[in-house]
Structure 1
Amino acid sequence: MKRNKNTIVYILLAGLGLSALSCTKDFNEVNTDPLGKEAVEAHQLMAPTMVNLMSTNMLRNRNFNNELMQVTVDLGDAEGKIFRYDIRANVADNTWNNWYVNLTNIVDMQKIASKPEKLNKSYQGISLIIQSWIYSLLTDTYGDVPFSEANNGREGNYQPKFDRQKDIYLGMFEKLEQANNLLKEGTAIVATSDAIYNGDVSKWRRLGNSLYLRLLLRVSAKTEVSSTVIAKIKEIIDTNPGNYPIMENNQHTAKLLWTGSNVSTALYTSPFMASIRANDFYVPAIGEFFIDNLVAWSDPRIIPSYGQNNINRFGIRPGTSGFVGVPSGYNPGSEPAKESRFYSSSDNVAINLQTDRYTGIIMNCAEVDFIIAEAAAKGWVSKDAGTYYLKGIADAINYWLPNVMPGGATDPAVLNYVDIAKIEWDNALPLESANANTLSKMLLIHQQKYYALFLVDFQQWFEYRRTSYPFLPKGPGMLNDKVMPARLNYPTITQSTNPTSYKEAVAAQGPDIIKTQVWWQKP
């Protein structure tokens, strides 16, 4: 009985055949609507699935990514403190479960939109983009994962193989190429089904190609694919941009715009409000690294006068000593006093991130700017690295404060910002830094990219693992030999329900521990 129960649970959690909107095995039966229709339309799967995905990403960004990347510090000496790199095995379960379950809906969206009687190339392309986005999160978090045989539970495959990460990346590249071609035609979709771009297919195409750049850059250091990957980056940015439109301004930024309601049950209420109590939202302290840079740079996002009713745009409450953070990784038994924290909905202030409409970020324009800046700094493309560095800063700040630095890279405000902060671009700087006290092109780019990726799922963590930037302080109380975790372990249930594939994955990738590097991170 226990064995059968585990098998059923695995099917649910791995998303091999069930819809995230379903509770039984029969897709058609579950999706029968009250009017008697026994078929679901592609557009009906899109909005609720995106809400589910963003809920998972935002909640785990808050309690996992932000703790690893020193945005926040959940003070205390108990076991399982992520800021100390003390990661319990069950931390891996939530994202694996939710990403795979919601993948089922997205794959179904493509299948439905591919039927002759329901043919819609835009939904096909959008599905391929979302699939690539989810698979990239899965493989960058765990390494080798089910890909080619995933979501085949209806066909009876309950024990899919774990594909190698290299093959997953090549598969995602194929999906994104297909998506770009499918979306060229601009086939109309139901605007109300699209909570991201309100039916603007051209923006989905830009997102797909921008995601393509993100993933190409992530594996660009791997010798066996580097020449091909760098050539594709150059094609997208330099030689064939007309065929690969990308994000160019914040109108192209992919986000799920929440209602801003403080009613947890309202439609499109932020997951921070729907799933977190106000008294819990403000518990973590702001990390010293995160806040010190903002203060030192006189960053508009933390200056109260740029916000509303004297509340800064990031919704950070000053402590008794002002905007002061706590050091991450402090020794147990030496807990520092909490100073700054995020406002919550219970504070009744003009700005708090718990109800903020703009926290549902999938990918933003500033990230694309910094990708281009890095590619230019490395000599891969003919763009000016300094220009895109400045544009990235302006776009990142303008996302939160649209009237600041409206002129982009040449705006006097952004030039004044980097001058005051002493982070001006200099082509004479070396590409890399030996330490935090040595400026370099990569350090400048990735210090700013770190803030551009604020609230964007696990991207800060992924980019740190790829580049080792920015330089995060290593507190004396950190575990794991003070080495940033390279992955999450596989969920425990996979060991009992898919033992053969699990063992093959471990044999190929390495021990199922947080120190084992994924393929793109290995030298």
Structure 2
Amino acid sequence: MLLFNLIEMNKRKNIVLVFLAVILLGACTKDFKELNTDPNSSEKALPEYLMARAIVETVKNNMTRSRGLTNELMQVTVNTLVETDRIFRYDIANSVSEAPWNGWYLQLTNFKDMYDSADKGYVADPKKANAFKGISLIMQTWVYSMITDTYGDIPYFNSNKAGVDGTYTPAFDTQKSIYLDFFDKLDSANVMLAAASNIPVTSDPVYKGNIANWRKFGNSLYLRLLLRASQKEETSAFVLDKIQKILDSEKSNYPIISNNEESAVLRWTGVAPYASPFVTLTDAQWKQQKAGKVFVDSLLFKEDPCIDLWLVKSNGEYEGIESGYTIGQTPEGRSTMNPILKSSPLMGNILNYGEVQLMQAEIGLRELIPTNASSVKNYYDSGVLARVTWWGKSSVEASTYLSNQRVVWNNNLSYEAKLEKVIYQKFLATIFTDIQNWAEYRRTGYPVMPKGNGLMNDKIMPTRLYYPSSVQAANPQNYANAIAKQGPDLLTTLIWWENHTF
């Protein structure tokens, strides 16, 4: 916590920002090196002592980003506390970029140390070494994917290497090259985990040591990232071939999440260190964010059974406020997010079964692999049922919702109308999950959202965040090279897999 307090107190001082960037892009802090030391054996801790902490800290970081960034951009919530620097208004300061960048890169060092220490720690047990190495590759890919999907080109191949080879100012790599390496990493992880044994329950807060489920998560993450790259002509041949293998010709070699119980989620228990970061928020802090009108209205219109789990009524009814309202015309506060979410075990979602089913519905709808209309409907229905029951509603409530004429699958609709149905349900399946809804919107333009009169940034949904000031100060030449290749360091510059703005 000392490092983060230092950042907050000195974020406007370049000397501290330079120091921070060098640390995060290079190596662990002194405190992390001490934590990672195993006094009884090797210089660095066994991977089982690194894994749980890295996962917990990453998910906490993700939840903060979801609440403060994604929910505001996607009109789930509207923070009416002040009139300036409002993310829901696309008025995003450079300082917003610091915390996610720092938090993600910090934990990457731990995930990489997991891989490096696995063989050393388990010389006599290669199956256990394979387990930690495979999980490390999956988690590195997961974290790097959130960074590159937030900023675009980033330090990747030579990041977090100051303690290894003295690289303090790594070059920025193109998102295309990063994604191609993601696919290599996930293929390697799949092979490693196929030849791995289970790991200690205490080291694994997600799957309690079950390696079969880690393998399914890795391949499900593979599908998520393949879809991101699926509309790029230069990678389409590989993407289509790999999707076909995962879902059809080699599916026995690429198991994926197949039910709600196999979902990748850090289920908060309320007992330290597995306590949600939101439990420390006061009621006043929690209620600063009001429910967005388009979010509330869509739940009401479709009679979504999860509405009472996510929202609380105001004056006896669910009522949201307009996002992007005109400056100086702040609406009266209305519905807020349900305070039970502060401690809900499901808020630690990473990737769930509902998303996996809806990915397959999209793949079938877009005919990325041979399929038929009934298969698309089945995947859609399964994804919706999975999402509703995952949140604790009964299968009867889920089936009733799915039979609603505003929800039920209709093959007679246009392609765009059907795609919007799928992506809207994926939006709900990934609600409160790091940056996923924002990324899906930038990829597809769905769900459609109204543009308030008070929006800034030319009323264009931000396509990325600015690079942090600390990076600009500490790594100026590589920063300059990055924007020369990718485009200006603006909120409207497209990253590689984006084709247009919305």
Tell whether the structures are fold-level matches, with TM greater than 0.5: yes
Structure 1 position 145 matched with structure 2 position 163: no
1:339-378 correspondence runs (5 A) = 339-344=334-339, 352-378=340-366
Q: Secondary structure at the match of 1:73?
A: strand
State the identity as a percent: 40
Cα pair distance change 1:34/1:380, threshold 3 Å: closer
Task: Say if 1:68 and 1:82, in contact at 8 Å, map to a contact too.
Answer: yes
Which residue is 2:382 aligned to?
391
- State whether residues 296 and 421 of structure 1, in contact with CA within 8 Å, keep that contact through their aligned partners in structure 2: no
2:264 is the counterpart of 1:273:
no
Match for residue 23 of structure 1 among 6, 31, 38: 31
Any residues of structure 2 matched to 1:102-251 within 5 Å, and which? 102-115=107-120, 117=123, 119=126, 120-154=129-163, 155-251=165-261
Root-mean-square deviation (CA, aligned residues, Å) is 1.9
2:407 pairs with 1:423:
yes
Structure with bigger helix share is: 2
Shift of 1:449: 1.0
Q: Deviations over 1:393-421 (max 9, x none)?
A: 1011111115335xxxxxxx545323324
Q: Which runs of 5+ in 2 are unaligned?
A: 1-12
Structure 2: distance between partners of 1:30 and 1:268: 18
- Output the CA distance in 2 between the equivalents of 1:230 and 1:178: 19
Residue number in structure 2 paired with 1:59: 64
Q: 2:451 aligns with which of 466, 469, 474?
A: 474
- Whether the 8 Å CA contact 2:326–2:453 is kept in 1: the answer is yes
- SS of match in other structure, 1:285: strand
Deviations 1:8-37 (A, max 9, x none): 3222233x2116xx527xx3x553467797
How many residues of Structure 1 are paired with residues of Structure 2 in the alignment? 480
Asked whether 1:486 is paired with 2:443, we answer no
Taking the aligned partners of 1:197 and 1:323, their CA distance within structure 2 comes to 36
TM-score by length of 2: 0.92
- Matched residue of 2:260: which SS? coil
| 1:6 CA drift (Å) | 5.1
What are the Cα deviations for residues 189-210 of structure 1, in whole angstroms up to 9, with x where unaligned? 1111000000000000000000
Q: Does 1:8 find its partner at 2:19?
A: yes
CA displacement at 1:277 relative to structure 2: 3.0
Query: Quick check: 2:63–2:348 contact (8 Å CA) kept in 1?
Result: yes
- 1:449-460 matches, within 5 Å, as 449-460=426-437
Question: Aligned match of 2:51 in 46, 53, 76?
Answer: 46
User: Distance between the aligned counterparts of 2:411 and 2:404, measured in 1?
Assistant: 19
Q: Contact 2:229–2:235 (CA<8 Å) still a contact in 1? A: yes
- Partner amino acid, structure 2, of 1:428: N
8 Å contact from structure 1 (residues 42, 113) kept in 2: yes
CA distance in 2, matches of 1:322, 1:260: 30
Q: Deviations over 1:104-133 (max 9, x none)?
A: 000000001133627410100000000000
Pair 1:313-2:309 in alignment:
yes
Return closer, same or farther for 1:402/1:194 CA change in 2, 3 Å cut-off. Answer: farther
Instruction: Decide whether the 8 Å contact of 1:77 with 1:332 is kept in 2.
Output: no
How far residue 441 of structure 1 moved from its aligned partner, in angstroms, is 1.1
1:404 aligned partner: 395
Question: Looking at both structures, which has the greater relative contact order when contacts are Cα pairs under 8 Å and sequence separation is at least 6?
Answer: 2
Match of 1:410 in 2: none
How many Å apart are 1:471 and its aligned residue? 0.3
SS of alignment partner, residue 362 of structure 1: strand
Amino acid at match of 2:383: G
Q: Contact conserved, 2:58 with 2:103, CA < 8 A, in 1?
A: yes
Q: Give distance in 2, aligned partners of 1:321 and 1:484.
A: 33
1:213 counterpart letter in structure 2: L
Q: Provide Cα deviations, 1:199-241, integer angstroms capped at 9, x if missing partner.
A: 0000000000000000000110011111220121111112111
Aligned mates of 2:441, 2:16 — CA distance in 1: 39
User: Can you list the C-alpha shifts for 1:454-490, whole angstroms capped at 9, x where unaligned?
Assistant: 1110000000000000101111110111110000010
- Take 1:9 and 1:76, find their aligned partners in 2: how far apart are those partners? 30
3-state SS of paired residue (2:154): coil
Matches within 5 A, 1:492-507: 492-507=469-484
State how far apart, in whole Å, the 1-side matches of 2:468 and 2:55 are. Answer: 23
The question of whether the paired residues in 2 share the 8 Å contact of 1:65 and 1:460 is answered with yes
Task: Show CA shifts across 1:361-402 (max 9, x none).
Answer: 011111111110000011123441111111111011111115
Q: Distance between the aligned counterparts of 1:70 and 1:259, measured in 2?
A: 29
Q: Is the 1:321–1:339 Cα contact (8 Å) retained in structure 2?
A: no
Do structure 1's residue 380 and structure 2's residue 368 form an aligned pair? yes
Q: 2: CA distance between counterparts of 1:295 and 1:60? A: 26
Describe the shift of the 1:35–1:244 C-alpha distance in structure 2 as closer, same or farther (beyond 3 A): closer
The structural deviation recorded for 1:321 is 4.9
Contact 1:77–1:333 (Cα < 8 Å) also in 2: no
